[in-house]
Structure 1
Amino acid sequence: MKIRKEDILQYMRKSSYKPLDLTELISHFKVSKKYRKVFEDLLEDLRLAGDVVKIKDGRFGVPERMNLVVGKVKMNRKGFAFIIPLKEGEEDLYIHANNLSGAMHEDIAIARIEKRPKKRKSEGRVVQILKRSHKRLVGIFEDKKDHGWVLPEGRDLFQDIYIPLDEKSGAKNGQLVLAEITKYPVPNRNPEGRIAKILGFPQDRFIETKVAIEKYEIPQKFSENANRESLNCSHPDKKEIAKRVDLQSLPTVTIDGEKARDFDDAVSIEKTEKGNYKLWVHIADVAHYVREESPLDSDAFLRGTSIYFPDLCIPMLPERLSNDICSLKPNEPRLTLTVLMEFNRDGERIGYELFESVISSNERMTYEDTKKILVDSDKKLIGRYSYLLDSFMNMVELCLLLKEKRDKRGSLDFDLPEPEFIIDATGDITNILKSERNIAHKIIEEFMIAANETVASHLFLNHIPSLYRVHEKPDSEKIKEFNEFIKDLGYDLKGIGKIVPKALQGLIRKVKGTPVEHLISSLLLRSMKHAFYSKDNIGHFGLASKMYTHFTSPIRRYPDLMVHRILKKILNHGRLTKSAESGFEEKLHNIATHSSVRERVAENAEREIIEIKKIEFLYDKKDSIFSGIISGVTAYGIFVEISDLFVDGMVRVSSLKDDYYFFIEEKHCLKGRHNKKVYRLGDRVKVKVTEIDLKRREINLEFAK
């Protein structure tokens, strides 16, 4: 009998269940010797996920029946912490500094509930640490002659690391270093470590990026074997071209950002005599060069994705491939996988083909130049690209049809502007511009979504094991909290008991163009779940799509590369053999999990650098006045998002000298006791920068007079 995790949990949740050890559980479930290792692995997965706990005498049970909570440690700079339960819906648990039992920030720990006060959070004690979050930390080295200390970077790491004299490795006072923890903290003793790497001084060029790379353990160098393999890759020869559909004479363009160097998608379009649209989406055939279980494949899997910092790109593949062999450069033959789709005049897909191809892109277009042709009617550019004008106009027509069709089903489109950094040769930001999506961005977005959906539906409906890009419905409690929040801004979500994409889409449309658009859209994004990769197709809530995958960026995303491999096997062999299908099934879960984790690491690293760069940009802007909008109100201060920079600073209550202000929690506002002045969410304000704390990454503001 096949035993599932659900079977184990169901048994342990019974009121009659008493904690059993491994031998007793094996006996109960009648596990044969052959499947003992599989059963042990299931138990270990459940333990690491926090669904099951193993107590000191080796017995297993579910935490909720043992007065235990499993969660992530969130430290406070005052020394105490909270356990944030892994299970949604459970209450945070307060942990006094004396009851941490050596736990550090972001460790996964088991805590026992010891007090349940009526008007405060429950209190507890850490009894077991399941997983250490930090093996290495980046911080400032403080030299004390016979020893040293590393003061960790980041606002949530407050335990300094003791460095013995013989583990300083030549670090100088004030340098940023990478410390490796050799002994974790115990009560009344700090963690101990050694200097593993010296990064430089805080004022050095590009130091923030170096810190992020070490902090998030991002691999920078490719293995020697992977580099050697990439150098052996060559441009397509006549023999390979002859095996494929030759589309080199088809008018084709890439449309990317000004700074892009890896072009993994190109498009072609024609209008038929019936008024239908034939759209070709060509994607670089990376799988032709990166073979399964090769050194290149191992390095790409480890990275999972390319990472883009304002001053540096860390590619998933060596530049020989990402920027040359696989990149769809103009007027050079390139191997591709093509999705040919035909749409009628209502934007409905009425047919498609998938095949291996070879293309030669006519032009490397940028979003800005394409927009100048289509929107600004730039005469010089229109003359330069006159032979492509019909294609561009057809692209606009089809883009609008596809967008309208997507809107009708409830697809969410936040359309949030992002900051674009202007960086000089020393790595300093000279300006921050507001980067907005134009019609060219929307054309590529719609065409890539259409291709991804076509590939996903082809694989799913043909019962072929694959990877999907999935997005679950938002948690109802989070949507309720979000709704309470926006009511103070004059908005209300209908039908929050059973939320559907159309309801959220309606709100996004209502706030579009208003001063609170960015605030509400950002809060809504935070209230929704993260999209992730899965071998099971559960649909994509945000896109209101029943079947969706990532196929269009194999140069920079590992899941896309995996989907290509599966598709190529189908195209070349008709369908997967039983052995190949079994092999894919085994791999897909691990690839999906690993790729989702690597994506989050990349996002966190990129976001952190962007926030640091914004704060650094403001560092020499002390006493400058900016426009902003109140994005949060607390008893101790008012958060203000500085317009166009999209960075929050705080106006502390102590700086409000004109009156005594009290906090009205249910109204999310501060109100003056005598002058009755109110500061509330969404108010437009003028603020002055008074202080920048680079270490804590805090911006202090005052209201400008």
Structure 2
Amino acid sequence: MELINERKKIILDLMNDKNYVPMKIKELAIILNVKKEDRGLLEIVLNELINEGKISVSKRGKYSIAKETLVTGIFTAHEKGYGFVTVEGEEEDYFIPAANVNNAFHHDTVLVAVLPEDKTKNDGTRKRRKEGKIVKIISHEITEVVGLFEKSKNFGYVLPDNQKIVKDIYIPLKASMGAVNGHKVVAKITDYGKEGRKPEGKIVEIIGHVNDPGVDILSIVKAYDIPTEFPEDVMEQIENIPDYVREEEKNGRKDIRNWQTVTIDGEDAKDLDDAITISKKNGVYTLGVHIADVSNYVTENSPLDKEARKRATSVYLVDRVIPMLPHKLSNGICSLNQGEDRLALSCIMEIDENGNIISHEIVETLINVDRRMSYTQVRDVLIGEKEACEKHKDFISMFKLMKELSDILRKKRYGRGAINFEFPECKIKLDDKGRVISIEPYERNSATKIIEDFMLMANETVAEEYYWQELPFVYRNHDKPDVEKMTQLATFINNFGYHIKMMGDEIHPKELQKLLESVEGTSEEALISRITLRSMKRAEYTPECKGHFGLSAKYYCHFTSPIRRYPDLQIHRIIKENIHGKLNEKYIRHYNTILPDITKNCSINERRADDAERDTEKLKKVEYMRSYIGEEFEGVISSVTGWGMYVELPNTIEGMVHVSNMEDDHYIYDEPTYSLVGEHTKKTYKLGQSVKVRVVHTDKMTKTIDFVLA
């Protein structure tokens, strides 16, 4: 590294000399007295300087000091040909016009020449975004493409599922693996093409025919490169893990098997990673949140751990779950199954009647769940449903105590400004062939709220303790929203008659909480809640504690789901080593070294899982609406752009009314008010407005639904 930095300095000094004339690498080697065997190193140094934006190379291969500001970033393509480059550390992306894309592929790492900044305002108040042109492609991230295979007489081609990959992939027939029209395939890119020539590839996998059940979802899984099979060494490792807790593993643990303990989950859940105990004495609640001790079985740097770290999260799609850990663990020894001894890591809290934590301990425990409950069963007990109360009569007082404490904790959390997003998410029901039967909202009830409140309390308690211990840790952070997004939200809700106050460039979470309280029970509740959520930044994992805006919490982490989230598993390891006094300087250095990469990978893969889930939902919604072409629906305008407006139906399905289909006038996008205004009639369509639409087209390939105004 020192040698490379030294060479960089020598080269920059040479090129900065006023007498320097741009020259090729051979001439530079002679001037710098570089031996023939060291020319490879010289090339590496020159490429690093180019990537750093300090020098440039002409089409004739001559090197000189960069005359333009150059930046390196990740290119995001748009299906219309233009794109954006995201540069780490810069808040605003660089807009890349189609003419300046220079054959870059979606998600390439590229070198961008920053164009002179245009000081003019495009609406009288707002400056145009930064622009650039791609001058070099540094590396390609995408090496395989999932898409639909089409065959002609002498060759084939793949139409990519990802609309951001704007060119078809040319496939020589000898590289087609015998694929036929209609096959969904995985194509490995062998040549990324150039201006006037398409990328070329070879088929490496035939997923199945486009009309075969499950192929549509599997294509999305493949497109996101989500691993579905566990490697051989992982399967070999789990063979040695018993299905029961060994006697020697019980030693040294707090034995609470005699505490009345329940799990409360969805009816279909199989990976039960949290259990609850609760009692009350002299006005003080003792709440135990007991989490499966997955780290006892998934040890650091074992094959299981390496695979779990790579996956980072379980992925929940409409027709399947792709687990982070093999089922033998997630549904077996790590699942807190009724009547089985299980190892847990527990956060046991003493809480007063105002919701304040008096004391707590984080301890390794041995538990045995007395009853596996569903949210519906607990709700039925709490509302006094006769059959449920009779069946679970020994647990009635426990559930009532839970509800009592949950109400206290929730009131306290809302008092400080935590935002409550209780809009209905959709549940898509499929038949055995993967076809949509119905799309319905998920039901949230008092039992789901109880578990949510208890998990949040445990997560905050653990995060605060480790923050003050100043030990390496993994935090779950949620930054304040962007001003522009909040301004757009304010405009949107104003169309419904609601308002939010902003103090300069900032907004307090209490303002958003008040907004959601004011829309509760109204017809627009689901839409406004969803748009408010979209207006906020995504939460992420980092080794630094930055606070959680949405929860209005100073300290927050994910401690409660180590079966399905790697950050929780990593936290458990740190906690257990601390409990056993092993967090010495060596271990602290170790965690300080690995946690930045681990947290970054977890955030990236969480986003990948979310995007895959959203894509499968969009796909099934398009499929569902195909049978409603020609029918009319009432909806609400959820987004307005220069090319049209999106309308959301009560069942959460969203479609586009394109301006080209608004035939009664020529409509112009008014950006300050986020509305479409008729040039002649002055008729206006704005965010939040109710409209009647008719379904005219659906496209499974692009996952889009087209409406026209009815």
Structure 1 residue 215, shift from structure 2 partner: 0.7
Distance between the aligned counterparts of 2:82 and 2:411, measured in 1? 52
SS in 1 for 2:56: coil
- Matched with 1:159 is 167
Confirm or deny that 1:697 pairs with 2:699: no
Is this contact kept in 1: 2:630–2:696, CA < 8 A?
yes
Question: Are 1:126 and 2:120 matched, yes or no?
Answer: no
Change (3 A) 1:614 1:394: same
CA distance in 1, matches of 2:299, 2:80: 52
Instruction: Return the offset for 1:344.
Output: 0.5
What letter corresponds to residue 628 of structure 2 in structure 1? K
Taking the aligned partners of 1:260 and 1:530, their CA distance within structure 2 comes to 26
CA contact (8 A) 1:650 1:701 kept: yes
> Please, which of 666, 673, 679 is the counterpart of residue 667 of structure 1?
673
Equivalent residue of 2:135, what SS? strand
Query: SS of the counterpart of 2:505?
Result: helix
Q: Which residue of 1 aligns with 2:69?
A: 67
Once residues 605 and 641 of structure 1 are traced to their aligned partners in structure 2, the CA distance between those partners, rounded to angstroms, is: 21
Q: How far apart are the structure 2 equivalents of 1:17 and 1:556? A: 58
Instruction: Give the 5 Å matches for 1:275-424.
Output: 275-375=283-383, 377-424=384-431
Deviation of the 1:199 alpha carbon: 0.7
Deviations along 1:320-378, one digit per CA (max 9) or x if unpaired, are 00001110111111111111101001111101112111111111111122112213x21
Q: 1:174-323 counterparts in 2 under 5 A? A: 174-234=182-242, 235-272=244-281, 274-323=282-331
How many matched pairs?
Answer: 663
TM-score calculated relative to the size of structure 1: 0.87
8 Å CA contact retained: 1:95, 1:126: no
**After the TM superposition, which residues 424-503 of structure 1 pair with which residues of structure 2 at under 5 Å, given as runs?**
424-490=431-497, 491-503=499-511
Query: How far does residue 681 in structure 1 lie from its aligned partner after superposition?
Result: 1.7
Structure 1 residues 489 and 89: alpha-carbon distance in aligned structure 2, compared to 1, 3 A threshold: farther
Question: What is the CA deviation profile of residues 140-160 of structure 1, one whole-angstrom value per residue up to 9, with x for unaligned ones?
Answer: 111123221111113322111
Partner residue, 1:56: 56
Partner SS state of residue 432, structure 2: coil
In structure 2, the partner of 1:647 is 653
Give TM-score scaled by structure 2 length: 0.87
Q: Which residue of 2 aligns with 1:561?
A: 569
User: What is the CA–CA distance in structure 2 between the aligned matches of 1:128 and 1:671, rounded to whole Å?
Assistant: 41
RMSD of the alignment, in Å? 3.1
| C-alpha deviation, 1:633, in angstroms | 2.8
Larger deviation: 666-675 or 156-165? 666-675
Residues 345 and 47 (structure 1 numbering): CA distance in 2 closer, same or farther, change over 3 Å? farther
Letter in 1 for 2:593: E
Q: Which stretch shows the higher mean deviation, 540-549 or 486-495?
A: 486-495
For 1:699 and 1:465, locate their aligned partners in 2 and report how far apart those are by CA, in whole Å: 47
Asked whether the equivalents of residues 471 and 540 of structure 1 are also in contact (C-alpha less than 8 Å), the reply is: yes
1:526 maps to what in 2?
A: 534
* One-letter code aligned to 2:374: T
TM-superposed deviation, 1:605: 0.9
Q: Distance in 2 between matches of 1:203 and 1:181?
A: 25
Change (3 A) 1:54 1:445: farther
CA distance in 2, matches of 1:531, 1:399: 24
Instruction: Report the secondary structure of 1:125's partner residue.
Output: strand
Inter-CA distance 53–446: structure 2 relative to 1 (3 Å threshold): farther
Distance 1:627 1:62 in 2: 61
2:346, 2:17 → 1: CA distance?
Answer: 56
Higher mean displacement: 260-269 or 619-628:
619-628
Change (3 A) 1:350 1:677: same
Deviation at 1:666, TM superposition (A): 3.2
Which range is displaced more, 394-403 or 475-484?
475-484
For 1:193 and 1:354, the matched residues in 2 are separated by 54
Using the alignment, how far apart are the partners of 1:614 and 1:681 within structure 2? Answer: 22
* Map of 2:690 onto structure 1: 684
Matched AA of 1:323: N
Task: Please give the per-residue CA displacement for 1:583-611, whole angstroms capped at 9, x wherever unaligned.
Answer: 12212112111111111111111111111
Shift of 1:69: 4.8
- Counterparts of 1:697 and 1:305, CA distance in 2: 25
Helix, strand or coil at the partner of 2:648: strand
Cα 1:530–1:59 change in 2 (3 A) is farther
Percent identity between the two aligned chains: 39
Q: CA deviation at 1:197?
A: 0.7
Q: Which region of structure 1 is more displaced relative to structure 2, 624-633 or 597-606?
A: 624-633
Letter paired with 1:699: I
In structure 1, stretches of 5+ residues that fail to align are 3-7, 20-42
Instruction: Decide whether aligned partners of structure 1 residues 266 and 125 sit closer, same or farther in structure 2, where only a CA change above 3 A counts.
Output: same
From 147, 150, 169, the equivalent of 2:155 is 147
Separation in 2, partners of 1:531, 1:53: 32
How far apart, CA to CA, are the structure 1 residues paired with 2:671 and 2:234? 57
CA, structure 1 residues 73+462, in 2 after alignment: closer, same or farther (shift >3 Å)? Answer: closer
2: distance between equivalents of 1:54 and 1:673?
49
CA apart distance, 1:280: 0.7
The alpha carbon displacement at 1:542 in A equals 1.5
